[in-house]
Each structure stands twice: as C-alpha cells, then as structure tokens.
Structure 1
Amino acid sequence: MIRLRRTSRLEAYLDVYDVAAETGVHPEFIRRLVRLGLLDPVEAREDERLLFEVSAVPLVRKIIRLRRDLGLNYAGIGVVLELMERIESLEAKIRELEGDLFE
C-alpha cells in the first residue's frame, strides 16, 4: 500500500523510503537514480528526505526492468527513457492531428 505524504501545498507525495518499498529496492538505489539524473524529486527537504510524485513508482519499475531484462547501463537507460518519452509525445501529437482532421 502506498502511503502518501502531504506537503504544505496539500499535494500527495511519496518519500524515498515509500518509493523504495513500493519497488522492492533499497532507498540508496533511489538516491543513486536521483544522482544519475534518471529520477527527479519534486522536493528535497533540509533533512535530506526526497519527495516524489506517485508516478515515480512505475518509472523506477521501468528502470529496474530495463537494467535487469536488457542489461542496459544507466546511461543507456537514460537514452531509452528519453526516446520513449519522445515517442509518447509524438503519438499524442498524431492523435491530436487525427482528431482535428476528422472533426
């Protein structure tokens, strides 16, 4: 079960320990992904507790699969994630243009 933290802006976030627990990894692995630029925290508090959006959980799971199943190094994972994001963006644009075409 995902426990959500509330910030002063009343938005739900997960801390590094929650993301680690949900993905079955050690919190230090999550911190490593942040240092490598593969995972962006929403906020880093003074006590060094990182806060993440709930969408970080599926992203970490995707990173784990890319590393485990394809044997990619972290630089390769970054390239694949960026390409996947660009593909999703292009597919969304195609759907938008198709919608405009058939209206």
Structure 2
Amino acid sequence: MNHDDDILQADVFDDERRLSLDELSQLCGAQTTLIIELVEEGVLEPADVRASHWVFSGSCVRRVRTAARLQRDLDVNMPGIALAIELLEELESLRRRVR
C-alpha cells in the first residue's frame, strides 16, 4: 500500500474568504442549484446581498458540503437539510461549551 493514499486533505476557510457562487460550487462538489436552494431555504446567506452577483464567506463551505452529503447519501429534502444543519451546529456548540 502506498502511504501517499493515506494523506488526508483539509481546506480551512474563514469568514474573511470571499467566494463566488461558481467557486463555492466547485470547492464543495455541489451543483449551483443546490446552493441557490440553500439560500432560498435560509441555510446560507450571501455575504454581500447588494452585489450584482452573490458572494459567500468561506464559512459557507462546510454547510454546503454537509448539505450535499445529506442530499446525496441520505436523500434528505431541503427542509430536512436545513433542520439537520441547524441541529448539527447546535450540537457542536454545546460540545465546545462542555469542553
């Protein structure tokens, strides 16, 4: 077995990073239609809604990746995705507080 196959890749994005709709789609391996639905459902909010095109903060990457996995792997509908992401983030927040 080649140890190069064992290397994990991680991308870290913070709120300072700005991404276009297409960039966010490519980084997450998600269709732009999914991202648009996430905005319409209130799961994502563009960083600058006044711009002629949407701009997203880097923190949206994690939400889109999670939504894409929920939709692809579990066939969860959009309201279910919104609820699951909210609950996952609340759980993460509670775990941080306990530590």
| TM bracket, shorter-chain basis | 0.7 to 0.9
C-alpha displacement of 1:14: 0.6
Match of 1:60 among 64, 70, 75: 64
More strand by share: 1
| C-alpha distance in 2 between matches for 1:14 and 1:25 | 14
* Alignment coverage as a number of residue pairs: 85
Mapping for residues 1-103 of structure 1, pairs under 5 Å: 11-47=16-52, 49-95=53-99
C-alpha displacement of 1:68: 1.2
Runs of 4+ aligned residues of structure 1 deviating over 3 Å after TM superposition are none
| C-alpha distance in 2 between matches for 1:61 and 1:28 | 14
C-alpha displacement of 1:46: 3.9
TM-score, scaled relative to structure 2 = 0.74
RMSD: 1.8
| C-alpha distance in 2 between matches for 1:26 and 1:77 | 15
TM-score, scaled relative to structure 1 = 0.72
C-alpha displacement of 1:85: 1.1
Higher relative contact order (CA 8 A, sep 6+): 2
Q: What are structure 2's unaligned runs of at least 5 residues?
A: 1-10
C-alpha displacement of 1:23: 2.0
CA offsets per residue over residues 83-102 of structure 1, 9 Å max, x none? 1111111111111xxxxxxx
Instruction: Give yes or no for contact 2:47–2:55 (8 Å, CA) kept in 1.
Output: yes
Instruction: Give yes or no for contact 2:37–2:78 (8 Å, CA) kept in 1.
Output: no
Q: What are structure 1's unaligned runs of at least 5 residues?
A: 3-10, 96-103
| C-alpha distance in 2 between matches for 1:58 and 1:27 | 15
Amino acid corresponding to residue 18 of structure 1 in structure 2: E
